[in-house]
Amino acid sequence: MFNLLRVVAQRLALGLFTLFIVSLIIASIVELLPGDITQAILGQSATPETVAVFRAELGIDRPVHERYIEWLKGMVTGDMGRSLANRREIAELVGVRLSNTLFLGGFAAAIAVPLSLILGLLAALYRNSIFDRGVNLFTLTSISFPEFFVAYILILFFAVKAGWFPGISNVSTDLPLGDKLFRTLLPAATLTLVVVAHMMRMTRAAIINLLSSDYIEMAYLKGIRPMRVIFHHALPNAWGPIVNVIALNLAYLVVGVVIVEVVFVYPGLGQLLVDSVSKRDVPVVQACSMIFAGVYILLNLLADIVAIVTNPRLLHPR
């Protein structure tokens, strides 16, 4: 237990250090964004004196390092500051958008994880069959296309031609759960098609690798049914790599939704990030980017912990 806690503490410290490096990179990149928010708000007809006063009011006339230190202190204490575009609290802007993004990622995960496990198990059970080759072909084809292409294909066939689902996923907090699931089905399906190949193929590879073990061959010789061999003997020992790749793909589902949210005009954190970049709203861009980075690092830490718990030998790499 002590070794596990020590490894978790090391991973957590490394994650915090990575988050600090990410904050430096984000702060440096947003300074390179073209344009000026004061010109965008005041218009091209604003005089230099008016622009200077407005920049001082927003606090963006100070040196970069001073603004970065103040922003970093605010992020550490939970104060994200105010939006430069509308002067609203960033925490208020981010709260609802983050819950929408987590809802979309959770909905996609609820579809992708069971589907990947079932397809991977069946592909391993019927290895080299037509079913196995067909599933591999379909998943590799879906992952080969970028997210926006898959999204537009789904919109074309299921929203435009068939008219079964809305092409724009306009959701709100007061929307019933059934309507919310219905409106987010297409973006969730897009994310599912993108990530299902990784999890399915890892499940298939882990099961096939264990099927060549001596104890699995002994189970077959005893006359145990193939499905029971896989579920009761092979699958429990294959959870390590499977759970690890699932956690990594869950991290992608949360932080990789930016393109999908933009295509479906979904009111999530990714859409807020893109809108803030177009407005040159630097504090909101920094806050959204740090949230995405924090979630990704946290889920990677969770993947490491689960891998160690399922395979204690990783505590002793020698």
State how far the Cα of 123 lies from the Cα of 120, in Å rounded to an integer: 5
pTM > 0.85:
no
- Does residue 103 form part of some domain? yes
pLDDT given at position 217: 73
Q: Which residues of the chain have pLDDT under 50?
A: none
Burial 160-177 (b: 16+ CB within 10 A, else e): eeeeebbbebebeeeeee
pLDDT given at position 192: 86
- Does residue 135 form part of some domain? yes
State the CB neighbour count (10 A cutoff) for residue 231. 12
pLDDT given at position 182: 87
- Does residue 313 form part of some domain? no
pLDDT given at position 129: 84
Q: Which residues contact 12 (CB under 8 A, 6 or more apart)?
A: 301
Instruction: Give pLDDT tens digits for 113-132.
Output: 888 888 888 887 777 888 88
State how far the Cα of 154 lies from the Cα of 149, in Å rounded to an integer: 9
Which CATH number fits the domain that encloses residue 154?
1.10.3720.10
pLDDT given at position 39: 62
pLDDT given at position 254: 75
- C-alpha distances (whole Å) from 38 to each of 41, 52, 54, 281, 284 are 5, 9, 7, 10, 15
pLDDT given at position 36: 63
Closest-CA residue to 111 (of 230, 250, 238, 256): 250
* Run of H or E including 178: helix 177-183
State the CB neighbour count (10 A cutoff) for residue 38. 22
Instruction: Give pLDDT tens digits for 60-111.
Output: 667 777 777 877 787 777 777 777 777 777 888 888 888 888 888 888 888 8
- Does residue 193 form part of some domain? yes
* Run of H or E including 299: helix 282-310
Question: Total domain count for the chain?
Answer: 1
Identify whether the C-beta of residue 139 lies closer than 8 Å to the C-beta of residue 197.
Answer: yes
- Does residue 194 form part of some domain? yes
Burial 178-201 (b: 16+ CB within 10 A, else e): eebebbbbbbbbbbbbbbbbbbbb
Helix, strand, coil shares of the chain as percentages rounded to 5? 80, 0, 20
β-partners of residue 89 are 82
- Does residue 228 form part of some domain? yes
- Does residue 32 form part of some domain? no
- Tell me which residue range forms the domain holding 103: 97-283
Q: Which two tokens stand for residue 136?
A: 């591999």
Q: Which two tokens stand for residue 6?
A: 């020590």
State how far the Cα of 220 lies from the Cα of 154, in Å rounded to an integer: 43
> Which amino acid belongs to residue 230?
I
Please tell me whether residue 168 adopts helix, strand or coil conformation: coil
Give the chain's length. 318
Q: Which residues contact 128 (CB under 8 A, 6 or more apart)?
A: none
Identify whether the C-beta of residue 264 lies closer than 8 Å to the C-beta of residue 186.
Answer: yes
- Does residue 182 form part of some domain? yes
pLDDT given at position 146: 81
